[in-house]
């Protein structure tokens, strides 16, 4: 019987780390397994982290998005990845050592302090907005909307469309698509403060969400 490759062993270790964190903090993790690369790629296709100077990631987990953002980002880009769980933050820091990456152990609620005077072109979030306390989710969404410049974009991954209304209240343009290549299927949102944001056309198959 063929033995596992190093990549398969490392993927298995990542899943176990994620599952352990879920068992310790189910509502904070919001998922049993890390997001698949296919869903992460579909999400990042909705906006241009390739051209971004500053990307802010909220809820790095075991680094599924972090890794993919670094793969796409240019050499002068800077990625600030925020993770509340100190063990997960430490593992991302150790496994994805990259001069463009800064891993912050802390809460996305403090994103203004974390950004200091830096302005993110893109914010990427897989935070479980429906299982976090509602006041925490509201605070994070308010602060993310305030932190983005007019050309900026908030990318959100969720396992249900429930967050749609909260996004539409804060952003002039919300596009939504679904990635079936994840378990469970992932709802992906691209949210812009301006209806005329110049990167809207990148969104490809995503459609403006007409729901109330
Ligand atoms: C669904 S997981 C997503 C992890 C990873 N991005 C992925 O897609 O596989 C959500 C992550 O958000 C983190 N998290 C939850 N609340 C947070 C907060 N207030 N600030 C920062 N991270 C938080 C959790 O610890 C968890 O790692």
Number of structural domains (the chain) is 1
Does residue 206 register a pLDDT over 80? no
pTM of the model: 0.92
The residue contributing the CA closest to ligand 1 atom 24 is 29
Q: For the chain, give the percent of residues with pLDDT over 90.
A: 82
Ligand 1 center from residue 76 Cα (angstroms): 26
Confidence of residue 211 (pLDDT cuts 50, 70, 90): low
Mean pLDDT for all residues in the chain: 92
Would 110 be classed as within a structural domain? yes
The residue contributing the CA closest to ligand 1 atom 19 is 107
Ligand 1 center from residue 120 Cα (angstroms): 19
Does residue 201 register a pLDDT over 50? no
Would 44 be classed as within a structural domain? yes
Domain hosting residue 103, numbered range: 6-208
Would 24 be classed as within a structural domain? yes
- Work out the average pLDDT over 137-148: 98
Would 180 be classed as within a structural domain? yes
More confident residue, 48 or 62: 62
CATH of the domain at 136: 3.40.50.150
Does residue 131 register a pLDDT over 70? yes
Q: Rounded to an integer, what distance in angstroms lies between the CA atom of residue 194 and that of residue 205?
A: 19
Among 31, 98, 108, 99, CA closest to 62: 31
Would 71 be classed as within a structural domain? yes
Confidence of residue 200 (pLDDT cuts 50, 70, 90): very low
Would 1 be classed as within a structural domain? no
The residue contributing the CA closest to ligand 1 atom 18 is 107
């Amino acid at each position: 019987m063929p033995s596992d490759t190093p990549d398969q062993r490392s993927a298995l270790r990542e899943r176990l780390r994620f599952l352990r964190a879920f068992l310790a903090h189910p509502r904070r993790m919001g998922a049993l397994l890390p997001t698949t690369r296919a869903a992460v790629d579909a999400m990042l296709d909705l906006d241009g982290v390739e051209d971004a100077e500053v990307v802010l990631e909220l809820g790095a987990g075991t680094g599924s998005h972090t890794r993919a953002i670094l793969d796409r980002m240019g050499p002068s880009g800077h990625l600030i990845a925020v993770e509340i769980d100190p063990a997960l933050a430490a593992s991302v820091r150790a496994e994805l050592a990259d001069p463009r990456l800064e891993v912050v152990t802390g809460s996305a609620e403090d994103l203004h302090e974390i950004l200091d005077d830096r302005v993110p072109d893109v914010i990427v979030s897989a935070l479980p907005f429906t299982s976090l306390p509602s006041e925490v989710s509201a605070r994070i969404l308010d602060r993310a909307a305030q932190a983005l410049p007019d050309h900026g974009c908030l990318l959100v991954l969720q396992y249900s469309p429930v967050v749609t209304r909260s996004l539409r209240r804060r952003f002039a343009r919300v596009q939504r698509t679904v990635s079936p290549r994840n378990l469970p299927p992932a709802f992906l949102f691209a949210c812009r403060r301006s209806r005329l944001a110049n990167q809207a056309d990148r969104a490809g198959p995503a459609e403006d969400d007409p729901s109330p």
